[in-house]
């Protein structure tokens, strides 16, 4: 502490006492010598008095010295203690003169070491400065304000900043107090460095901004409530959900003060679970109405907010708007239950409802009817007019069917152009028939669809519960079977199910299914039957005849499967395959040394209806390299029935290719002989029904010479089919028949037997 006592000051008592001693000596010497001289005293007495006086002065001087020294030391030590205190304070402490004329404090009177250390000035430098010299110039206004308050209240606390000698800025909390000493106004100023606090505050502010930005930009509603359920934090989404309220309108409020009671009650209930029990409410789906009256789905979670001791301080709530997801789910649900094109119930919904109907019918002993409705030739509409017209037609069909049934009946689109109807509560089967008749009538008229005048009929199959089946599966299967039967009986028709029909239809359906991949499975094979000249027995050529070796069924004849292939349209790919295969085979024969054989290929009326048949024939010739003259097509009279003129045009085009045309199965059809002369054909094949009769003495027998004669007159060659006996052949030869074909000469044979067969003939 003594380092605070200046050594200089310790000379002061010495100086005072020295002055006192000098003065005392002068006085003693002067007074005693002078009185001896004046009054003539004894020199001894005088000297003794001087000695005594001097001794007294010395003694008192000594006493005085120690007294002053003690007092001074005490004073100086107390002052040193104060300084020590000041200098060891971690705050800057200043004492400066009171407010000057300019309203600002006067010069520094005292500063502590901390102030010198922080600001970089020496104490001496400070004592020549004013506080305004160290204040940050930007806080002049604040300084003036603070001084006004100081003047009025005697003290002021404010936040300012000091500038160090080297120009750094130190933020400080300043506490000023006015006081008086010896009548002088002074100011005590204690300044605390708040650099650290400021930094923390800035960090906190930054974190706060970051967090705010984050939670405000999260699309979920986020909020925090205190333990009384009052909101203490909210985000933008939450405010939006509350109808775009301002944060101040919400903070500090309970849900009861913000939401309608029916919502608030539920919210408060959830809050209680969290606040009272410390539990969580996770992913509760709520269907609510927001402040704007918009109905929304919310997925809400509430989690307790706990302190370090597990005490619940409040809760954090997160609400996710899942309205879009819910809408999508509903849409998918509707899509799963309703057909998007016709808006009729889906299969699944139909089955649900129809099962209920069946159960009801069982209980009440009533009838139900399952109607299977299929549009006739719908595919051709799709193929020729496009799918959009097809779609419109299906929509129109749904409407028309709806008009034919009662509201209590159930209906669905089963797929493609198939519809199913379940007629409920029928008293008898006639009611189902009447509905089917209504459907037939409704569809038996042209209708306008997408600007097209369409005439599309429907075939209906009916199965009655419980007669034709007691389960849904049976009823559907049997109604489907009956529908096929209706189609086979000429379409635009309805048909009730019966057991026999089932077998036929099933067999037919199986055949159709098998035909679809018969070619790719290489089950189709061509047999060849020679056509021979009657006059000399020379082979003119072969007829290609199709055989189907169906897996698991063995050989199936064309009479069985060709009608199914025609009905299903599969004859188109199959017929093309036959044409290419037969041409290729004849070319092979040609290359093997048998040129000039004519290959006869049967062309179905369904193939013929397709306008591109001429192109298909041309391509077959081009690709196989067979000369057109070595190919003949066989068509039946049925090609003429649909459109005589169009058929003639096509036949002419075929002839123009250089390909010959035969009229097959002549005599079984309806065309009159008159037509023959207009037909661009080169051969006539008399059906084997006539040949069978040739040996007998019958009317048919008389027909053959007439047909051959007429044919020759029309410049046609005649081929007799199914010649099995020499008698038949002789008769034909007698009637100048040109060619024959039959078991007598050869049965149809597989391709690998043809060459050996031809060789044998040589
Ligand atoms: P089709 O064109 O009149 O063929 C002649 C039919 O008479 C063949 O029957 C043949 O095997 C049979 N046949 C030939 N000689 C005799 C005989 O002496 N006695 C008897 N009883 N029958 C004889 P298949 O092969 O069963 O063909 C039946 C019909 O199937 C054909 O009659 C033809 O209309 C059709 N067909 C055969 N192959 C094809 C083909 O590739 N395409 C088309 N569209 N139809 C074909
Ligand atoms: Mg034929
Ligand atoms: Mg024939």
Q: Rounded to an integer, what distance in angstroms lies between the CA atom of residue 276 and that of residue 703?
A: 110
190: number of Cβ within 10 Å: 17
Closest ligand relative to 559 C-alpha: 1
Reply yes or no on whether the pLDDT at 687 is more than 60: yes
State the distance from the centre of ligand 3 to the C-alpha of 664, rounded, in angstroms. 5
State the distance from the centre of ligand 3 to the C-alpha of 728, rounded, in angstroms. 17
Peptide bond into 466 cis (omega under 30): yes
Q: How far is CA 302 from CA 223, 224, 276, 319, in A?
A: 10, 9, 13, 9
More confident position, 58 or 644: 58
Task: Return phi, psi of residue 530, to 5°.
Answer: -70, 145
Task: Return phi, psi of residue 221, to 5°.
Answer: -80, 125
Task: Could you list the beta-strand ranges (E) of 235-279.
Answer: none
The residue written with tokens 């006639």 in the block is 430
Residues 577/565, Cβ–Cβ less than 8 Å: no
Ligand 1 touching residue 555 (CB < 6 A)? no
Ligand 1 touching residue 563 (CB < 6 A)? no
pLDDT tens-digit map of 128-157: 999 989 999 888 888 889 999 999 999 999
| % of residues, the chain, pLDDT over 90 | 49
Region of 658 on the Ramachandran plot (φ > 0 left; ψ -120 to 50 alpha; else beta): left
Residues 182/161, Cβ–Cβ less than 8 Å: no
State the distance from the centre of ligand 3 to the C-alpha of 245, rounded, in angstroms. 91
* CA 366 to centroid of chain Cα atoms: 47
325: number of Cβ within 10 Å: 12
Closest ligand relative to 685 C-alpha: 3
Closest ligand relative to 665 C-alpha: 3
Instruction: Report the pLDDT value the prediction gives residue 660, as an integer from 0 to 100.
Output: 96
Q: How many residues does the chain have?
A: 762
Closest ligand relative to 558 C-alpha: 1
Measured by CA distance, the residue closest to atom 13 of ligand 1 is 722
Shortest-distance atom of ligand 1 to CA 526: 41
Ligand 1 touching residue 270 (CB < 6 A)? no
Instruction: Report the pLDDT value the prediction gives residue 107, as an integer from 0 to 100.
Output: 93
Shortest-distance atom of ligand 1 to CA 558: 30
423, β-bridge pairs: 369
Q: Rounded to an integer, what distance in angstroms lies between the CA atom of residue 467 and that of residue 496?
A: 11
Ligand 1 touching residue 529 (CB < 6 A)? yes
DSSP single-letter state for residue 346: P
Reply yes or no on whether the pLDDT at 287 is more than 90: no
Ligand 1 touching residue 46 (CB < 6 A)? no
Shortest-distance atom of ligand 1 to CA 685: 3
Measured by CA distance, the residue closest to atom 4 of ligand 1 is 545
Tokens encoding 149 = 């308050």
Shortest-distance atom of ligand 1 to CA 582: 41
State the distance from the centre of ligand 2 to the C-alpha of 680, rounded, in angstroms. 17
More confident position, 728 or 500: 728
Measured by CA distance, the residue closest to atom 20 of ligand 1 is 722
Q: Rounded mean pLDDT of 541-554?
A: 94
Instruction: Report the pLDDT value the prediction gives residue 666, as an integer from 0 to 100.
Output: 87
Ligand 1 touching residue 604 (CB < 6 A)? yes
Window from 180-194, 275-289, 569-583 with minimum mean pLDDT: 275-289
Shortest-distance atom of ligand 1 to CA 741: 15
Tokens encoding 160 = 């300012």
Reply yes or no on whether the pLDDT at 443 is more than 80: yes
Instruction: Report the pLDDT value the prediction gives residue 659, as an integer from 0 to 100.
Output: 97
Window from 2-11, 325-334, 594-603, 663-672 with minimum mean pLDDT: 2-11
Tokens encoding 177 = 């107090």
Ligand 1 touching residue 556 (CB < 6 A)? no
660, β-bridge pairs: 632
Ligand 1 touching residue 742 (CB < 6 A)? yes
pLDDT tens-digit map of 22-54: 888 888 788 777 777 777 767 777 788 888 888
Q: Rounded mean pLDDT of 517-523?
A: 88
pLDDT tens-digit map of 161-175: 999 999 999 999 999
Q: Which CATH architecture does the domain made up of 514-761 adopt?
A: Alpha-Beta Barrel (3.20)
Q: How far is CA 707 from CA 533, 664, 673, 677, 695, in A?
A: 18, 14, 9, 13, 16
Coil, helix or strand for 739? Answer: strand
Instruction: Report the pLDDT value the prediction gives residue 674, as an integer from 0 to 100.
Output: 66
Res. 1 pLDDT band, cuts 50 70 90: low
Instruction: Report the pLDDT value the prediction gives residue 399, as an integer from 0 to 100.
Output: 95
CATH of range 199-326; options 3.30.70.1050, 3.30.450.20, 3.40.1410.10, 3.40.50.300:
3.30.450.20
Tokens encoding 8 = 């200089």
Instruction: Report the pLDDT value the prediction gives residue 205, as an integer from 0 to 100.
Output: 93
Sign of CA dihedral 166, 167, 170, 172: positive
pLDDT tens-digit map of 72-100: 888 888 888 888 888 888 899 999 998 88
Task: Return phi, psi of residue 23, to 5°.
Answer: -60, -40
Reply yes or no on whether the pLDDT at 15 is more than 90: no
H/E segment holding residue 759: helix 751-761
Instruction: Report the pLDDT value the prediction gives residue 533, as an integer from 0 to 100.
Output: 97
Candidate from 721, 729, 747 with most ligand 1 atoms within 8 A of CB, to mutate: 721
Residues 657/688, Cβ–Cβ less than 8 Å: no
Sign of CA dihedral 209, 212, 213, 214: positive
Closest ligand relative to 633 C-alpha: 2
State the distance from the centre of ligand 3 to the C-alpha of 246, rounded, in angstroms. 94
According to the 3-state scheme, what is the secondary structure of 622-645?
A: HHHCCCHHHEEEEEECHHHHHCHH
Res. 506 pLDDT band, cuts 50 70 90: low
Instruction: Report the pLDDT value the prediction gives residue 41, as an integer from 0 to 100.
Output: 65
* CA 750 to centroid of chain Cα atoms: 59
Reply yes or no on whether the pLDDT at 5 is more than 80: no
Instruction: Report the pLDDT value the prediction gives residue 699, as an integer from 0 to 100.
Output: 60
Coil, helix or strand for 551? Answer: coil
List Cβ neighbours of 156 (8 Å cut-off, separation of 6 or more).
146, 147, 149, 150, 174, 175, 176
**pLDDT, mean over the chain:** 88
Task: Return phi, psi of residue 307, to 5°.
Answer: -85, -175
Compute the chain's Rg from CA coordinates.
Answer: 62
Ligand 1 touching residue 741 (CB < 6 A)? yes
528: number of Cβ within 10 Å: 25
Ligand 1 touching residue 345 (CB < 6 A)? no
Residues 103/144, Cβ–Cβ less than 8 Å: yes
State the distance from the centre of ligand 3 to the C-alpha of 722, rounded, in angstroms. 8
Coil, helix or strand for 349? Answer: helix
Reply yes or no on whether the pLDDT at 435 is more than 70: yes
Measured by CA distance, the residue closest to atom 41 of ligand 1 is 546
Q: Helix axis angle, 751-761 relative to 571-591, nearest 10°?
A: 40
Instruction: Report the pLDDT value the prediction gives residue 673, as an integer from 0 to 100.
Output: 66
Q: Rounded to an integer, what distance in angstroms lies between the CA atom of residue 422 and that of residue 373?
A: 11
Residues 126/106, Cβ–Cβ less than 8 Å: no
91, β-bridge pairs: none
Reply yes or no on whether the pLDDT at 508 is more than 80: no
Instruction: Report the pLDDT value the prediction gives residue 404, as an integer from 0 to 100.
Output: 94
Ligand 1 touching residue 632 (CB < 6 A)? no
Q: Rounded to an integer, what distance in angstroms lies between the CA atom of residue 119 and that of residue 170?
A: 9
Question: Domain 89-193 in CATH: superfamily?
Answer: PAS domain (3.30.450.20)
Ligand 1 touching residue 530 (CB < 6 A)? no
Ligand 1 touching residue 602 (CB < 6 A)? yes
Tokens encoding 409 = 């009946």
Res. 350 pLDDT band, cuts 50 70 90: very high
Closest ligand relative to 600 C-alpha: 2
Q: Rounded to an integer, what distance in angstroms lies between the CA atom of residue 271 and that of residue 263?
A: 12
Res. 354 pLDDT band, cuts 50 70 90: very high
Q: What is the DSSP string of 167-234?
A: S-EEEEEEEEEEEEETTEEEEEEEEEE-HHHHHHHHHHHHHHHHHHHHHHHSSSEEEEEETTS-EEEE
Ligand 1 touching residue 546 (CB < 6 A)? yes
Instruction: Report the pLDDT value the prediction gives residue 3, as an integer from 0 to 100.
Output: 62
Ligand 1 touching residue 667 (CB < 6 A)? no
Ligand 1 touching residue 662 (CB < 6 A)? no
Instruction: Report the pLDDT value the prediction gives residue 698, as an integer from 0 to 100.
Output: 64
Shortest-distance atom of ligand 1 to CA 687: 3
* CA 470 to centroid of chain Cα atoms: 42
Reply yes or no on whether the pLDDT at 643 is more than 80: no
Reply yes or no on whether the pLDDT at 378 is more than 80: yes
Q: Rounded to an integer, what distance in angstroms lies between the CA atom of residue 216 and that of residue 234?
A: 9
Tokens encoding 559 = 């009479």
Instruction: Report the pLDDT value the prediction gives residue 89, as an integer from 0 to 100.
Output: 87
State the distance from the centre of ligand 2 to the C-alpha of 170, rounded, in angstroms. 115
Return the closest-CA partner of residue 301 out of 317, 290, 286: 317
Q: Rounded mean pLDDT of 467-473?
A: 90
Class of the CATH-defined domain 338-497: alpha beta
Ligand 1 touching residue 664 (CB < 6 A)? yes
Tokens encoding 34 = 């002078």
pLDDT tens-digit map of 383-430: 788 889 999 999 999 999 999 999 999 999 998 899 999 999 888 778
Most confident of 254-268, 290-304, 620-634: 620-634
Instruction: Report the pLDDT value the prediction gives residue 675, as an integer from 0 to 100.
Output: 73
Residues 437/371, Cβ–Cβ less than 8 Å: no
| % of residues, the chain, pLDDT over 70 | 96
H/E segment holding residue 91: none
Instruction: Report the pLDDT value the prediction gives residue 684, as an integer from 0 to 100.
Output: 93
């Amino acid at each position: 502490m003594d380092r605070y006592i200046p050594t200089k000051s310790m000379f002061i008592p010495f100086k005072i006492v020295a002055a006192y001693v000098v003065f005392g000596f002068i006085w003693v010497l002067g007074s005693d010598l002078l009185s001896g001289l004046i009054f003539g005293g004894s020199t001894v007495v005088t000297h003794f008095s001087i000695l005594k006086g001097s001794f007294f002065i010395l003694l008192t001087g000594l006493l005085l010295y120690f007294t002053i020294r003690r007092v001074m030391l005490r004073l100086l030590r107390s002052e040193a203690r104060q300084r020590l205190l000041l200098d060891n304070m971690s705050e800057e402490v200043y004492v400066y003169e009171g407010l000057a004329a300019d309203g600002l404090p006067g010069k520094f009177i005292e500063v502590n070491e901390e102030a010198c250390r922080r600001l970089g000035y020496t104490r001496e430098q400070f004592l020549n400065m004013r506080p305004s010299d160290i204040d940050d110039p930007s806080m002049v206004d604040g300084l003036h304000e603070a001084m006004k308050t100081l003047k009025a209240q005697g003290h002021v606390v404010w936040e300012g900043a000091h500038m160090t000698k080297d120009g750094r800025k130190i933020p400080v909390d300043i506490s000023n107090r006015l006081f008086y000493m010896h009548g002088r106004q002074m100011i005590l100023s204690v300044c605390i460095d708040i650099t650290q606090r400021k930094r923390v505050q800035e960090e906190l502010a930054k974190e706060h901004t970051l967090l705010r930005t984050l939670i405000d930009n999260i699309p979920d509603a986020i909020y925090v409530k205190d333990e009384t359920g009052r909101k203490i934090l909210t985000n933008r989404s939450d405010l939006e959900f509350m109808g775009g309220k301002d944060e101040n309108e919400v903070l500090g409020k309970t849900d009861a003060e913000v939401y309608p009671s029916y919502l608030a009650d539920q919210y408060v209930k959830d809050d209680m679970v969290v606040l009272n029990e410390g539990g969580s409410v996770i992913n509760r789906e709520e269907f609510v109405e927001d402040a704007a009256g918009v109905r929304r789905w919310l997925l809400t979670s509430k989690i307790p907010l706990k302190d370090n001791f597990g005490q619940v301080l409040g809760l954090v709530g997160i609400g996710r708007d899942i309205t879009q997801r819910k809408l999508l789910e509903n849409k998918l649900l509707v899509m799963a239950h309703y057909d998007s094109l016709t808006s009729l119930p889906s299969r699944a919904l139909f089955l649900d409802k129809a099962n209920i109907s069946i159960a009801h019918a069982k209980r009440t002993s009533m009838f139900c009817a399952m109607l299977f409705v299929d549009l006739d030739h719908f595919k051709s509409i799709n193929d020729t007019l496009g799918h959009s017209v097809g779609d419109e037609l299906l929509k129109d069909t749904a409407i028309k069917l709806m008009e034919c049934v009662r509201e209590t009946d159930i209906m669905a689109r089963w797929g493609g152009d198939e519809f199913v109807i379940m007629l409920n509560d029928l008293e008898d089967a006639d009611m189902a028939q009447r509905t089917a008749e209504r459907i037939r009538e409704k569809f038996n008229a042209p209708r306008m669809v997408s600007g097209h005048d369409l005439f599309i009929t429907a075939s209906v199959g009916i199965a009655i519960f419980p007669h034709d089946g007691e389960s849904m599966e049976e009823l559907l299967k049997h109604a489907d079977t009956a529908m096929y039967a209706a189609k086979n009986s000429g379409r635009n028709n309805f048909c009730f199910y019966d057991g026999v029909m089932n077998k036929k239809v099933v067999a037919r359906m199986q055949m159709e299914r098998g035909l679809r991949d018969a070619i790719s499975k290489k089950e189709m094979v061509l047999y060849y039957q020679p056509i021979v000249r009657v006059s000399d027995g020379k082979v003119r050529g072969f007829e290609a005849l199709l055989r189907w070796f169906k897996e698991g069924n063995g050989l199936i004849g064309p009479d069985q499967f060709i009608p199914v292939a025609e009905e299903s349209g599969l004859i188109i790919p199959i017929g093309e395959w036959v044409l290419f295969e037969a041409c290729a085979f004849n070319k092979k024969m040609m290359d093997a040394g048998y040129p000039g054989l004519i290959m006869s290929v049967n062309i179905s009326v369904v193939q013929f209806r397709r306008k591109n048949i001429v192109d298909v024939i041309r391509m077959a010739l081009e690709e196989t390299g067979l000369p057109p003259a070595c190919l003949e097509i066989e068509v039946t009279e049925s090609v003429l029935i649909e459109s005589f003129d169009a058929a003639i045009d096509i036949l002419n085009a075929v002839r123009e290719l250089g390909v010959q045309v035969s009229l097959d199965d002549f005599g079984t059809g309806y065309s009159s002989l008159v037509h023959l002369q207009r037909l661009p054909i080169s051969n006539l094949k008399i059906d084997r029904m006539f040949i069978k009769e040739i040996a007998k003495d019958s009317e048919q027998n008389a027909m053959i010479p007439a047909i051959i004669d007429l044919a020759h007159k029309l410049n046609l060659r005649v081929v007799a089919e199914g010649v099995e006996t020499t008698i038949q052949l002789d008769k034909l030869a007698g009637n100048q028949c040109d060619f024959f074909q039959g078991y007598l000469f050869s049965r149809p044979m597989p391709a690998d037997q043809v060459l050996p067969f031809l060789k044998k003939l040589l």
